[in-house]
């Protein structure tokens, strides 16, 4: 029996972008799936356009913008599939992209989530910034991907075409067992957007399950359409959410060990932004640090939730992190490619 898949697309404005995504989706060769679009209070008439042009799609209309995390969680409430596939609206997909993802999940019950290979929409032989061919992370909470180290993106020459365990699956296109997603408590809505998929993947590892990349599945992504790459808000969310995870997801001794090192690197980033007169980045870092300072209750609440999920000790989990500092190795030692870190 072919398992049913629920494709959940959080959306906020941009009818043209969504239209191309939906047209591409409907060319998919997998025949047992539903499409759920969660509109986060769009102001451009997206809701009426979806009803008129795609009446077969389930539309959920949020009254406020709940971000990626809240939008996806809203979609899950209506999902009927065994598997959930969270998909950005600024993607198109190869027609046979779903089958490899489902086959990977069906092959091993310990695999709870899987992502496709994500390439750039505008330059199809370039790994996309948002996930490449599988996400990794260093012990200080800096994410990177096979095919992307910070802003350095590699060309896809088949070098990362192996299906392997990864640390995080990209929210650009992420297929998850519904039972696992619900057991993990879904996406943490306090993240709003950015790194909520890393947080979910971290929880999956703590629950004793695995995250994979399946490069036989290919998706093309228009990176940073919803939120510009160098916007204050994006900088803020990335810094804040990363710090939030370090303080919440590690065991207490490791949180207390790694956070001071990361705190120093935050100030290094601040002064680097100051030298470049990048006021958006400077103020975003300060804003993130202030949020951490004034929200200890959020950290405590999250730590309690993580404690209830934990089945794998950090000693074992640390084997899945890059042991060095991504920042120092990249900027001081000149490591540019993923292969330099393995």
* H helix or E strand, kind and range, residue 331: helix 326-331
pLDDT digits (tens, 9 = 90+) for 188-237: 999 999 999 999 999 999 999 999 999 999 999 997 666 667 799 999 99
pLDDT of residue 143: 97
Q: In what order do the strands lie in the sheet with 91-93?
A: 58-62, 33-40, 5-11, 83-87, 173-177, 111-120, 210-221, 91-93
Enter the DSSP assignment of 189: G
pLDDT of residue 226: 61
Let me know: does 54 contact 18? Beta carbons within 8 Å.
Answer: no
pLDDT digits (tens, 9 = 90+) for 83-98: 999 999 999 999 999 9
pLDDT of residue 208: 97
pLDDT of residue 77: 97
- How far from 312 is each of 180, 208, 282, CA to CA, in Å? 15, 6, 37
pTM: 0.96
Residues of the chain with pLDDT under 50: none
**Helix, coil or strand: residue 36:** strand
pLDDT of residue 39: 98
For the chain, domains (ranges, CATH) are 5-221 (3.90.550.10), 232-311 (no CATH)
């Amino acid at each position: 029996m072919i398992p049913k898949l629920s494709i959940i697309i959080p959306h906020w404005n941009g009818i043209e972008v969504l239209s191309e995504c939906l047209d591409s989706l409907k060319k998919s060769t997998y025949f047992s799936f539903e499409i759920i679009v969660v509109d986060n209070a769009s102001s451009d008439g997206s809701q009426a356009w979806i009803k008129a042009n795609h009446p077969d799609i389930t539309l959920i209309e949020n009254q406020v913008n709940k971000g990626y995390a809240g939008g996806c969680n809203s979609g899950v409430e209506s999902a009927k599939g065994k598997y959930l596939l969270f998909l950005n609206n600024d993607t198109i997909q190869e027609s046979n992209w779903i089958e490899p993802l489902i086959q990977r999940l069906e092959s091993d019950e310990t695999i709870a989530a899987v992502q496709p290979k994500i390439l750039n929409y505008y330059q199809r032989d370039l790994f996309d910034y948002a996930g490449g061919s599988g996400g990794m992370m260093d012990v200080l909470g800096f994410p990177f991907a096979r095919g992307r180290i910070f802003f350095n993106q590699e060309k896809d020459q088949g070098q990362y075409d192996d299906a392997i365990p990864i640390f995080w699956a990209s929210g650009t296109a992420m297929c998850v067992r519904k039972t696992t997603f619900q057991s993990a408590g879904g996406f943490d809505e306090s993240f709003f957007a950015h790194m909520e998929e890393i947080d979910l993947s971290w929880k999956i590892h703590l629950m004793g399950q695995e995250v994979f990349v399946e490069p036989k599945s290919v998706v093309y992504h228009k990176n940073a359409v919803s939120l510009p790459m160098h916007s204050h808000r994006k900088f803020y969310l990335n810094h804040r959410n990363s710090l939030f995870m370090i303080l919440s997801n590690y065991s207490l001794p490791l949180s207390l060990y790694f956070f001071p090192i990361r705190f120093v690197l935050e100030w290094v980033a601040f002064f680097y932004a100051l030298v470049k007169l990048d006021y958006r980045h400077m103020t975003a870092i300060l804003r993130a640090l202030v949020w951490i300072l004034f929200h200890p209750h959020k950290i405590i609440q999250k730590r309690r939730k993580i404690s209830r999920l934990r089945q794998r000790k950090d000693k074992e989990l640390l084997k899945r992190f890059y042991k060095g500092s991504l920042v120092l190795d990249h900027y001081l030692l000149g490591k540019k490619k993923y292969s330099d870190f393995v």
